[in-house]
Amino acid sequence: GAGVSQSPSNKVTEKGKDVELRCDPISGHTALYWYRQRLGQGLEFLIYFQGNSAPDKSGLPSDRFSAERTGESVSTLTIQRTQQEDSAVYLCASTLTLGGTDTQYFGPGTRLTVL
């Protein structure tokens, strides 16, 4: 596709439910990143993928968060037993290559609201 796409655009869920967020990176982009952005704040790095490998998971807030990626394609971020503090916009970005200074292209994000 022309850009990074994410689905759903909005997700409202009840506390304790599991949610799955999807990211489709730009075709051919090797690296993929997940960020979280709370209202009025900057972006928090969560995890990145090189291909389908995730060498750095240091930003994942807790073991309720997990992510996977199929090859150099779709990635899913799963949040289990959601809590109200998980409410945020979850942004995905991709770059053509890993390393260097390639521009990160961001998707429109998924706005998650946990009631």
Partner 1 sequence: GQSLEQPSEVTAVEGAIVQINCTYQTSGFYGLSWYQQHDGGAPTFLSYNALDGLEETGRFSSFLSRSDSYGYLLLQELQMKDSASYFCAVLSGGYNKLIFGAGTRLAVHP
Binding residues for partner 1 (CB under 8 A): 4, 31, 33, 35, 40-45, 48, 50, 55-56, 91, 95, 98-109
Report the half-sphere exposure of 4 (CA within 13 A, side-chain side).
Answer: 27
Q: What tokens appear for 65 in the block?
A: 């968060």
- In this structure, the chain runs to a length of 115
Based on CB atoms, which residue is closest to partner 1, 19 or 32?
32
Closest approach, Cβ 34 to partner 1, in A, equals 12
Based on CB atoms, which residue is closest to partner 1, 22 or 80?
22
CB atoms within 10 A of CB 85: 10
Closest approach, Cβ 95 to partner 1, in A, equals 6
Based on CB atoms, which residue is closest to partner 1, 16 or 61?
61
Q: What is the rounded distance in angstroms from the CA atom of residue 79 to the CA atom of residue 111?
A: 13
Find the distance separating the first CA and the last CA of the chain, reported in whole Å: 33
Amino acid (one-letter) located at 66: S
Closest approach, Cβ 73 to partner 1, in A, equals 19
Closest approach, Cβ 101 to partner 1, in A, equals 6
